[in-house]
Structure 1
Amino acid sequence: MCIKKISVYIYSVLMIAICIAADCGPRLKYAWGDALQSNDCPGPDGTPYPRHLVNRALKTGPWGQTRQARAMNTLDPTLMRRALLQAHEGYAEGRTKPDNGSRTGRGISAPGVPPPSSTCGGARLCRSRYNTTAPMYGVSLTSGQPVTIVQKFPDLLQQVVFEVCESSECSLVRGSCTQTYIPYLFLVLPLGPVTLTGQDYVLVESGCVCRPDPMP
């Protein structure tokens, strides 16, 4: 009888964890939670999203004063999401060309992952999927510590595009598919060291490239 109760308890806990993960949006390697899908995604220590700290920072923080000076309304989050996806699709298919002077690199390697320069064929040889997210938590690239990414729907949403590998082997050549990352600059709590407004970098999945096997 006790074993049956324990099994039911474990099953319930797992189901709750699965539901929480689903409600929180995509779980990326260095970022998780999605403010467009959930307002209650728990942090790395299991505590709720600190909305009171976010609201206080928006009013009194170094970037709160800047926001108060703006009189215009913010763009609808759904329109912003659609624009991000269309732009990403255009670059991926070669229909959109970057302006002169813009950064053309799509991804960088995380620690321990070879850089894209050692790859061949790019993303066409590896199946991937992409979408947008407004991450609520991340791992600081400068400190390696968890940070809270400031999100307040719909006034301040820091949306990004992510692209993750769906295949482990290349489709036309013998090799392995490698996930690439790019650093995004976010407003975070505690305040980050990168800018005077307290921003910090968090790595986000940016593509999937083929790394060919060495010649025998």
Structure 2
Amino acid sequence: MAQLETLALPHLPSSLPVHVALYCDVQNSAFLKQQLLEGNADFEYALVDASMVLTRAHATAAIFRAVNDYMNGRLMSRNVHSEIVFSLSPANNIADSFRKFGIADATKDLLVVRVSVSPEITHESVAAHLATAIQGTSVPFDDETLSEVSDITKIKKAYKLGALPSPSSKTECNGTADNDAKRRLELSLVGAIALRGS
């Protein structure tokens, strides 16, 4: 069974819980991407390349923005799930955001998000579907695990933050300077998400 976490994001109604799971060593990314492209309603998820997610706060900032836009009728993409992928991008190009942040055929580490936009989408139904749909290792959705899979070089390039110092990309932190660098990068990413299009 998936290590699925259900989030109740602050400032959003409790009637819209968000279900999040993180997978490593995914073997069927090409199949999952094809389901999205075909519009298969059973696979209506935000499928994010986890190497492009620095921290839990980075991911939840994009989720919050997308759900808030969904609630206020401001979606720029097809649905709230595609909007989550789009919300990760600092730019307004939807196709480019899917290329940089969405699932690709070669994606090995995958962040999966589903918003309960209807009553039949529950923690149990999402967990059961993910257990059969995703061929990979379910891991905790936390900063420690994300630090093992995130590609800081790719993230900084996507956000045009090359001038910022790079923190260590692995779980071994090199002291206060490394933690400060990671925190600065995280704040820059969250700020880019919040300010996109303004």
Tell me the TM-score normalized by structure 1: 0.20
Q: When you count strand as a share of all residues, which structure comes out higher?
A: 1
Q: Which structure: larger Rg?
A: 1
Could you say which structure has the greater relative contact order, defined with CA pairs below 8 angstroms and 6 or more residues apart? 2
Tell me the TM-score normalized by structure 2: 0.21
